[in-house]
Amino acid sequence: MKNFQFKILNCDKKTKARTGIFKTPHGIINTPVYMPVGTKGAVKTVSPEELNDLGAEIILANTYHLYLRPGEKIIKSFGGLQKWTNWKKPMLTDSGGFQVFSLAQEKGFTKKNLKTLVKIKEDGVEFKSHLDGSTHFFTPEKVIKIQTDLGADIIMAFDECAPVHASKKYIKEAMERTHRWAERCKKEHQKIQKKRKIKQALFPIIQGGIFDDLRTQSAKFIVDLNLPGIAIGGLSVGESKEKLYHILDIINPYLPKDKPRYLMGVGSPEDILEAVSYGIDMFDCVMATRNARHGSFWTLNGRSHLANTAFKNDGNPLMKGCGCYTCKNYSAGYVRHLFIEQEMLGLRLLTIHNVHFLVDLMKQIRENIKEGSFIQFKNRFINKFKNEKK
Amino acid sequence: MKNFQFKILNCDKKTKARTGIFKTPHGIINTPVYMPVGTKGAVKTVSPEELNDLGAEIILANTYHLYLRPGEKIIKSFGGLQKWTNWKKPMLTDSGGFQVFSLAQEKGFTKKNLKTLVKIKEDGVEFKSHLDGSTHFFTPEKVIKIQTDLGADIIMAFDECAPVHASKKYIKEAMERTHRWAERCKKEHQKIQKKRKIKQALFPIIQGGIFDDLRTQSAKFIVDLNLPGIAIGGLSVGESKEKLYHILDIINPYLPKDKPRYLMGVGSPEDILEAVSYGIDMFDCVMATRNARHGSFWTLNGRSHLANTAFKNDGNPLMKGCGCYTCKNYSAGYVRHLFIEQEMLGLRLLTIHNVHFLVDLMKQIRENIKEGSFIQFKNRFINKFKNEKK
């Protein structure tokens, strides 16, 4: 199998769900796949061995953060991300586009003053570091160069992630800029790839907000770039779940079957199940790791919180029947004690459980697609999982 | 071999150093031994498997902290400390005496106002919780009962750890109270042990500050209690290193050869080497774990700090030739990055290295005592380690 070849193994008959394998220089990924997020070059609290043991096949790192600290040149000098972090399997880096824009949005800037904080030009984006306020300029070409130095197997095109409540006019402009930037990313990437032994796959990103016509227009454009994968960005950023699923539905006919589709930043167990039914193959989300650090964890009955005093005397594992290291070795009572005391081991045990929960969910999704029982599995899971709190 | 039997294997000819084995219900400890500190029922940042892999044979937990949260009855309901924490090897609990007094001292209270914050009576000590200010009363009997519920293999007598700069008169009073409390602890312990299947060894504690006559008086008294081990408390609390070594020297003749001697709260690599030469068998110290959380680590050349920018590009391990998980798998440059970003994985990798450093030092000490080369090893190590900063 060639690098960056995607092979579909099973297709569900009642939905658009499918299973497949995607080949990368660091190994094969089984899809649908959940990618734990290692923002700064480490999935928070856990080691590469723990990630491997719980079944993770690919992890994500953030271009924006690693560019600022320690700098991509340092990581390159160590032989790239995998050698630096000791994670030996596939990796993906995002383009930093989302962070550049979202860090401004988090501060409550509107479209108008966003332009003064994050200066968007045709050539690229000027932004200020959240660490020290220093000014930086990202162009599509620069972002590709940084990701080349970082050396992940899959790299992302530089896109503009417009605020969800911006006008249609603005979202159209941002989308068209994203398209021009995607072309420039492709050109720069091809130029660099000719000179390099290490191969990387570039995924361009569909934008277009919550507008059917923009999304289909963007899907067509991005698909025409004919790169090894297709990403869908700018969703799960504040729009309703119905809108999210609707967009996945309307762009589906334009997506080639033989390429993996990556829905960026999604999501919760139910969102993943829904998106799989619309033919999505790849997911990333900080929920598993972030929730853990706040003491919350998933079971088949939804989300629970360790602050609940009911867990104080609980000799059962966090989730009965769970095969993760935490549930096989520790009681909910002990994990609660560690969380209450803010012992790092507690946050780590919760992270292991939550990441395992999603990795195991993907495994069950793949098995049920293969067995032709995906829709039943999905409905049964979501029905039981009704307690999930947002 | 019977529980709590201590068997000397090798004696050094030039110093009082010796190697031995101490049998407990959860296994054998090879002495001299370093015990990592798991204050609240977990050695900060690391798992029981990691501790086991790096060679730890016994860990310590704190009665004071576990009594306050989650409470000894909860730990008892889980089957005791080992079942609760999933650490399957020997454990030791301190008596809480040191915490009760040191928490007041940390706040800068003198002997006079110490009495108002921590009310010392013949029956026991009234103190306020550092968590919520609630009032509690520890008696020797209560402390033994709590430690029975916690269920460690080795438990400690309740002692008064007087401030190092208190008058000789006060230190004598505190020592005599400690002796009376040790007798009460022994009595309560014997009463409980008759009724229980699970066996625990009680170690009484020698006090007496930095005064030769008080220390020898205390040594004689504590030895006469004829319990399975002897602890030395109230040292490494502000006195000079020379005083510490001197006290170890003068009490040595009074200590029976066939019982393990535990020097509480010591120490640094050099202090451990010196104390071993005076016949000490057991050590505990938070330095390895605490230093790690502050970014500092030991090598054979002394102490280094990861904040040093020289480590930024360093592709070498923290210490060349080190066999710990961290050094075998990560560069100093990557561990530095994790520390700078305050990623928990970084604090964990540093903890593993530091704890392994002391565990491995003890192993080398034992080997060199066996081979008759302890004094050469000690001098060579200390000479090289001169960079150590306090």
Q: Give pLDDT, residue B110.
A: 60
C-alpha distance from residue B378 to each of A193, B189, B360, B361 (Å): 56, 39, 14, 10
Tell me which residues of A are annotated as active site: 94, 284
Chain A CA closest to residue B74: A313
> Which of A158-167, B293-302, B376-385 is predicted with the least confidence, judged by mean pLDDT?
A158-167
Q: Does A138 map to a domain?
A: yes
Q: Does A246 map to a domain?
A: yes
Nearest to B315 among A78, A334, A344 (CB): A78
Structural domain of A346 = 294-387
The string of pLDDT tens digits covering residues B310-340 is 999 999 999 999 999 999 999 999 999 999 9
Question: Which of B238, B266, B285 represents a domain boundary (last residue)?
Answer: B285
Nearest to A41 among B40, B86, B337 (CB): B337
Residue B31 forms beta bridges with which residues? B20
A222 plus A251 within the same structural domain: yes
With vertex at residue B89, the alpha carbon angle to CA B139 and CA B140, rounded to the nearest 5 degrees, is: 5
Of A40, A88, A67, the residue nearest A158 (C-alpha): A67
Rounded mean pLDDT, B134-149: 96
Count A/B contacts: CB-CB distance under 8 Å: 92
Q: Does B382 map to a domain?
A: yes
Dist CA B360 CA A56 (whole Å): 33
- The answer to whether A40 contacts B312, with C-beta atoms less than 8 Å apart, is no
Rounded mean pLDDT, B208-229: 97
Q: Give pLDDT, residue B105.
A: 63
A272 plus A323 within the same structural domain: no
Chain B CA closest to residue A80: B334
- Partners of B44 on chain A (C-beta within 8 Å) are 343-345
Q: Does B368 map to a domain?
A: yes
Asked if residue B389 has pLDDT above 50, the reply is no
Mean per-residue pLDDT over chain B, rounded: 94
- The answer to whether A41 contacts B344, with C-beta atoms less than 8 Å apart, is no
Label residue B101 by pLDDT band (50, 70, 90): confident
Asked if residue A115 has pLDDT above 90, the reply is no
Chain B CA closest to residue A337: B70
Rounded mean pLDDT, B119-124: 94
B113 plus B201 within the same structural domain: yes
> Which of A8-12, A103-107, A128-132, B93-97 is predicted with the least confidence, judged by mean pLDDT?
A103-107
Chain A CA closest to residue B46: A345
Nearest to A337 among B41, B330, B331 (CB): B41
Q: Give pLDDT, residue A390.
A: 39
Asked if residue A128 has pLDDT above 80, the reply is yes
Of A249, A257, A184, A185, the residue nearest A216 (C-alpha): A249
- The model's pTM: 0.95
Nearest to B40 among A46, A312, A341 (CB): A341
- Partners of B330 on chain A (C-beta within 8 Å) are 86
With vertex at residue B72, the alpha carbon angle to CA B69 and CA B74, rounded to the nearest 5 degrees, is: 85
Is residue B268 within 8 Å of residue B287, measured between CB atoms? yes
A256 plus A298 within the same structural domain: no
Question: Which of B285, B314, B345 represents a domain boundary (last residue)?
Answer: B285
Asked if residue A209 has pLDDT above 60, the reply is yes
- The answer to whether A44 contacts B340, with C-beta atoms less than 8 Å apart, is no
The string of pLDDT tens digits covering residues A9-51 is 999 999 999 999 999 999 999 999 999 999 999 999 999 999 9
3-state secondary structure B81-133: HHHHHCCCCCEEECCCHHHHHHHHHHCCCCHHHHHHHCEECCCCEEEECCCCC
Helix (H, G, I), strand (E, B) or coil at B274: helix
Of B136, B385, B170, B390, the residue nearest B287 (C-alpha): B390
- The answer to whether B77 contacts A313, with C-beta atoms less than 8 Å apart, is yes
* Nearest chain A CA: its distance from B309 CA (Å): 11
Rounded mean pLDDT, A77-93: 98
B264 plus B378 within the same structural domain: no
The string of pLDDT tens digits covering residues A330-358 is 999 999 999 999 999 999 999 999 999 99
Strands B119-120 and B91-93: unpaired
Which secondary structure element, helix H or strand E, spans residue A94, and what is its range?
A: none
- The answer to whether A42 contacts B346, with C-beta atoms less than 8 Å apart, is yes
Asked if residue A116 has pLDDT above 80, the reply is no
Q: Give pLDDT, residue A99.
A: 86
Q: Does A338 map to a domain?
A: yes
Q: Give pLDDT, residue B106.
A: 61
Question: Percent of chain A scored above 70 by pLDDT?
Answer: 95
Q: How many domains does chain A have?
A: 2
C-alpha distance from residue B175 to each of A262, B6, B125, B252, B333 (Å): 70, 27, 15, 18, 50
Q: Which of B149, B212, B284, B360 is catalytic?
A: B284
Q: Does A1 map to a domain?
A: no
- The answer to whether B337 contacts A40, with C-beta atoms less than 8 Å apart, is yes
Dist CA B41 CA B69 (whole Å): 10
Q: Give pLDDT, residue A100.
A: 84
B279 plus B310 within the same structural domain: no
Chain A CA closest to residue B343: A44
Label residue A130 by pLDDT band (50, 70, 90): confident
> Which of A101-110, A171-180, B92-101, B359-368 is predicted with the least confidence, judged by mean pLDDT?
A101-110
Asked if residue A109 has pLDDT above 50, the reply is yes
Chain B CA closest to residue A87: B329
Judge if the upstream peptide bond of residue B163 is cis by omega within 30 degrees of 0: no
- B contact test, residue of A337, A341, A350 with most B CBs within 10 A: A337
Is residue A248 within 8 Å of residue A280, measured between CB atoms? yes
Asked if residue A233 has pLDDT above 80, the reply is yes
Is residue A345 within 8 Å of residue A334, measured between CB atoms? no
Q: Does B168 map to a domain?
A: yes
Q: Which residues of B touch A (CB under 8 A)?
A: 40-42, 44-47, 69-70, 74, 77-78, 84-86, 312-313, 315, 329-331, 333-334, 337-338, 340-341, 343-348
Asked if residue A217 has pLDDT above 50, the reply is yes
Label residue B113 by pLDDT band (50, 70, 90): low
B272 plus B140 within the same structural domain: yes
Is residue B205 within 8 Å of residue B156, measured between CB atoms? yes
Tell me the CATH number at A46: 3.20.20.105
B21 plus B86 within the same structural domain: yes
Rounded mean pLDDT, A199-208: 97
A324 plus A301 within the same structural domain: yes
Asked if residue B388 has pLDDT above 70, the reply is no
Mean per-residue pLDDT over chain A, rounded: 94
Question: Which of A285, A302, A323 represents a domain boundary (last residue)?
Answer: A285
Strands B154-156 and B201-203: parallel
ipTM of the complex: 0.95
The string of pLDDT tens digits covering residues A259-294 is 999 999 998 999 999 999 999 999 999 999 999 999
B329 plus B303 within the same structural domain: yes
Encoded tokens for A272: 């993943």
- Partners of B338 on chain A (C-beta within 8 Å) are 40-42
Asked if residue A162 has pLDDT above 50, the reply is yes
| Dihedral in degrees, nearest 10, Cα atoms A246, A250, A255, A260 | 10
Q: Which long-range contacts (CB under 8 A, 24 or more apart) does A371-378 make?
A: A372/A12, A372/A13, A374/A12, A374/A14, A374/A15, A374/A17, A374/A276, A374/A277, A375/A12, A375/A14, A375/A15, A375/A277, A378/A15, A378/A273, A378/A274, A378/A276, A378/A277
Nearest to B45 among A77, A315, A345 (CB): A345
Nearest to B47 among A44, A312, A345 (CB): A345
* Nearest chain A CA: its distance from B39 CA (Å): 10
B245 burial (CB, 10 Å; 0-12 / 13-18 / 19+) is middle
Rounded mean pLDDT, B200-225: 97
- A contact test, residue of B331, B337, B341 with most A CBs within 10 A: B337
B276 plus B187 within the same structural domain: yes
- The answer to whether A46 contacts B341, with C-beta atoms less than 8 Å apart, is no
Residue B65 CB partners (closer than 8 Å, separation 6+)? B39, B40, B99
Label residue B30 by pLDDT band (50, 70, 90): very high
Is residue B271 within 8 Å of residue B241, measured between CB atoms? yes
Q: Does B1 map to a domain?
A: no
Q: Could you please report the per-residue DSSP string of B315-362? A: -S-SSTT--SHHHHH--HHHHHHHHHTT-HHHHHHHHHHHHHHHHHHH
Q: Give pLDDT, residue A387.
A: 55
- The answer to whether B40 contacts A348, with C-beta atoms less than 8 Å apart, is no
A260 plus A333 within the same structural domain: no
